Amino acid sequence: MTSNVFVSITAALLLAMMSSSAQAFFDPPWITPAAPRAGEMVSVNIRGGICDTFFEWPGYPQLTQQGNGIHLLEFGQHRDTQDLCIFGIGTLSEPIGAFAPGDYVLTVEMIYDDFLYGPTIMTLGVVPFTVTGTATAAPIPATGAFGRLAILILISGSAIGALRNRRGSNVQAIH
C-alpha cells in the first residue's frame, strides 16, 4: 500500500513539473499622450493576452476620481491553466478624461470571476503622471530673411540720408 502511495505521489509531482505554466500577462499600463496638457484627453493603454483579456460587461469600466487619485476598474478574464488560454494579444486604450494642471496617480485594476474564490481584483499597475498648463504660444518672428533685409536697407538709407543732411547743415553754418 505504501509503495502505491509513493508511486502516485511521484507520478503527480512529475506531471506537475512537466506541465507548462500559463502565459498570462499584462504589460504595465501607460498613458497617452505621454506629457498631457490641461484640457487634453488622456487615455490609458494596457497590453495583454494569452490567458488574460478584457470583456465588455454591464457597469464596466468603472472610472472614479478622488482629488488627484484616479481609479479604473475593468472587467476581464484571468486563467491559470494553460489549456484554457485561448485569448489573442491586444491593447486596450481607454479614455480617462481631461484634467487640470497637476500631479495625478492612476490605479488600474481588473475584476474577474475566479471560480474558487468568486470576484477577484487584480492590480495591473499604478501610473503617476503630470498634466502641465496650457501651451504658451512660441514667439513667431514678424519677418523672415527678406523682411530683415528690407528693414536693414531702410534703416541704412535713413542713416545715410540723416548724415547727408547733417553734413549739408554743417557746411552751410561754416560759410
Residue 124 sits in the same domain as residue 146: no
Own/partner contacts of 53-58, CB < 8 Å, gap of 24 or more, are 53/77, 53/87, 53/88, 53/90, 54/92, 54/110
Residue 118 sits in the same domain as residue 164: no
Q: How far apart are CA 172 and CA 41, in angstroms?
A: 74
Residue 145 sits in the same domain as residue 63: no
* All three cell numbers of 46: 494596457
Residue 120 sits in the same domain as residue 161: no
DSSP 3-state of 53 = strand
Q: How does pLDDT run across 25-37, given as a tens digit for each residue?
A: 889 999 999 999 9
* All three cell numbers of 131: 498634466
Q: How does pLDDT run across 110-160, given as a tens digit for each residue?
A: 999 988 889 999 999 999 999 999 755 555 566 677 777 777 787 887 778
Angle at 142 between CA 138 and CA 148, to 5 degrees: 130
Residue 31 sits in the same domain as residue 109: yes
Residue of higher predicted confidence among 104 and 87: 104
Q: How far apart are CA 111 and CA 74, in angstroms?
A: 6
Q: The cell 512660441 sits on which residue?
A: 138
For residue 13, is it within any domain?
no
Residue 108 sits in the same domain as residue 27: yes
Residue of higher predicted confidence among 158 and 45: 45
Q: How far apart are CA 52 and CA 124, in angstroms?
A: 11
**pLDDT-based confidence at 19, cuts 50/70/90?**
very low
Full domain range(s) for residue 108: 20-131
Q: How does pLDDT run across 54-81, given as a tens digit for each residue?
A: 999 999 999 999 999 999 999 999 988 8
Q: State the Rg of the chain over Cα.
A: 35
